[in-house]
A and B are shown apart, each in its own frame.
Chain A
Amino acid sequence: MVSTFQNYTRYLVIVLFALFLAACETVPNDSATSTSSTSSSTAAIEIQDGVYVGSDTIEMLAVDVPDRIFFAYDSYSLTKAAQDTLEKQAKWLKANGSATIAIEGHADERGTREYNLALGDRRANAAKDYLMTQGISSSRVTTISFGKERPVNSGSNKKAWAQNRRSVTVRTN
């Protein structure tokens, strides 16, 4: 009887410890910048490999011509979706031969200010370079980096950061 009670206590201790561990694991860890999308179900759909793939925040330069593309953390490579968007922008620029544009490069808040200015410049120029490969003259395109100074989403979470890692094409005339 006594030994059973002891076994019970031991069992109880183990169960409580397991519950404690489980509780620890569910503490959200937004500060990690890894691109895994385990946090919430919506984030899982909207972020792929650290790149925002949803449609919130996007504005249209013309019908079916999105104004922005998104990047992974500390990256300036263009995803397939980003290339598709830039191709649409290139077509629109060809159809509107007098239009000039500025490409704004932006970073999320998880990086030092000066490095992010350089990173924003990289992103804006990655977009500009792609437009040039599509036959758009560099004289029609200026770039400006805002680093992390102009987030579109003011939150401090993975979705906000993914929406803020972007380059935005703005018509200048």
Chain B
Amino acid sequence: MKKLLVYLFPLILFTNISFAIIEIDITEGNREPLPLAISEFFHDNNQEIIDKKITENIRTVISDDLERSGLFSSIDDKAFIQNNRAMHLKPRFADWRLIKAQGLLTGELAIEDDRLRVEFRLWDTFAEKEIEGLVLITTIDNWRRISHMIADKIYERLTGEEGYFDTRIVYVAEEGPKNKRIKKLAIMDQDGANHKFLTSGKELVLTPRFNPVRQEITYLSYFKNLPRVYLLNIQTGIQEVVGDFPGMTFAPRFSPDGGKIIMSLAREGNSDLYVMDLTNRVVERLTDSPAIDTSPSYSPDGKKITFNSDRGGSQQIYVMDSNGRNQKRISKQGGNYATPVWSPRGDLIAFTKFYQGQYFIGVMRTDGSGERLLTENWYQEAPSWSSNGRVLIFYRETKANNAGDGHSSSIWSIDLTGFNERKLITPVDASDPSWSKLIQ
């Protein structure tokens, strides 16, 4: 991915941060989406260099991002009454209130020195004032990222939480029959755009995870029939094996600073947790139990690790200090638990639960209290958090019939509230999703 330079200029200096009339409490589930009017950004007609498609697409990308969050609805532009430069300078608020728009987005595009200048304003139609405004300058082919960044700004302004639209998802693309499944690493923007395969499918690959600070992925590859943890640099495409271990390494995940990889090592039938410092390649053993210890995940401050173990006789979730001390079980509501992942906000752990023949994605506090199950299905697992900790993605499989047909695998997202469950569209079947932080 090429380096992107974006300049941000605040349009207006707020003289007083007055209370906004439009505001969303996103901890409240199943609320009515807030209606927004998102206008097509205007530009001077002599600026032929700006493709008509770009102006349409910017609007679509922003509007789709916001609608997918479940918090906003986009008013059909056929209902729009005003669509010109004047609107961007001073909308006729009463007109927009008539079509029930509580917020109005206007914008202007221009080309300056071969660069795309995008200016947008977000208006509160009831308070009759501008509540957000920015100028973004970048190369023309970056219009899509600019759109995601604008959607992030709107989300942030209206919910008080950081947005998560300028992000990407790495996952395993799957093809072919179940017993000869071909799996490739694939990457795409959070909305499915810019889809790209990262490996050829020659080797079995599993469980890719983003480095939180670098354009890098760690994953499991069966290269030469030796299942080991690998690193892949997304920019250069260079892959390298992580460490020199005497057995299968698997279940890798980066530390929050991106400098370490924590993973399982299987030796003679026993899987324990190890951590490797990527700078000096020093390896440290963290657990030493005769049971299976796997699926480790750091807390965002790097001080704790949650992991999956069957040391008590069944698969449960444990938490320990990052040096391996003070290991204790936190899951206790009955059933089996797996794939714990610490929330980027630090307060929750997402997990897979297997109970009475069904699979659940849920969250609990880091001491195991307050368990909430968000979704139930025949098979689903492997939650991954959005960068702001408000949304989870995971994968779900359908049951095959007795001939082995009818099986499929796909990525889904759900809000922390348990609402707004959606399937992500991918070109082929999909599993093992990992959601990036906001792109830097």
Contacts and interface: CB of A to CB of B under 8 A. Distances in A.
Contacts of B220: 117
Q: How large is the interface on B (under 10, 10 to 19, 20 to 34, 35 or more residues)?
A: 35 or more
Contacts of B225: 144
Interface in A116-160: 117-119, 121-122, 124-126, 129, 144-145, 149-157, 160
Interface of A: 29-33, 74, 76, 109-115, 117-119, 121-122, 124-126, 129, 144-145, 149-157, 160
Interface stretch (B31-39, B121-129, B134-142, B175-183): B175-183
A42 to B, nearest CB: 11
A114 B250 contact: yes
B294 to A, nearest CB: 5
B378 interface: yes
B386 interface: no
Contacts of A117: 206, 220, 227, 248, 250-251, 264, 266, 294
19 contacts: A29-B357, A110-B379, A111-B354, A112-B315, A113-B207, A114-B250, A114-B294, A114-B339, A117-B206, A117-B248, A117-B250, A122-B292, A124-B269, A149-B181, A150-B179, A154-B400, A154-B407, A156-B399, A156-B401
B370 interface: no
A153 B404 contact: yes
Interface in B264-298: 264, 266, 268-271, 292, 294-295
Given A114-B295, A149-B206, A154-B179, 19 more contacts: A31-B378, A111-B338, A112-B295, A112-B338, A114-B264, A114-B294, A114-B308, A117-B250, A117-B294, A121-B247, A121-B266, A124-B269, A144-B248, A154-B177, A154-B403, A155-B401, A156-B401, A156-B407, A160-B400
Given A145-B248, A149-B204, A154 B268 contact: no
A69 B431 CA distance: 29
B207 A155 contact: no
Contact of A115 (B315, B356, B404): B315
B175 to A, nearest CB: 14
Contacts of B402: 155, 157, 160
Given A113-B382, A114-B250, A125 B269 contact: yes
Nearest to A148: B178
Contacts, number: 114
Contacts of A114: 207, 250-251, 264, 294-295, 308, 338-339
B179 A115 contact: no
Given A118-B292, A149-B204, A113 B271 contact: no
Contacts of A30: 399
A115 B339 CA distance: 9
Interface in B327-360: 338-339, 352, 354, 356-358
B162 interface: no
Contacts of A121: 247-248, 266, 269, 271
B397 interface: yes
A155 B178 CA distance: 9
A144 B357 contact: no
B381 A113 contact: yes
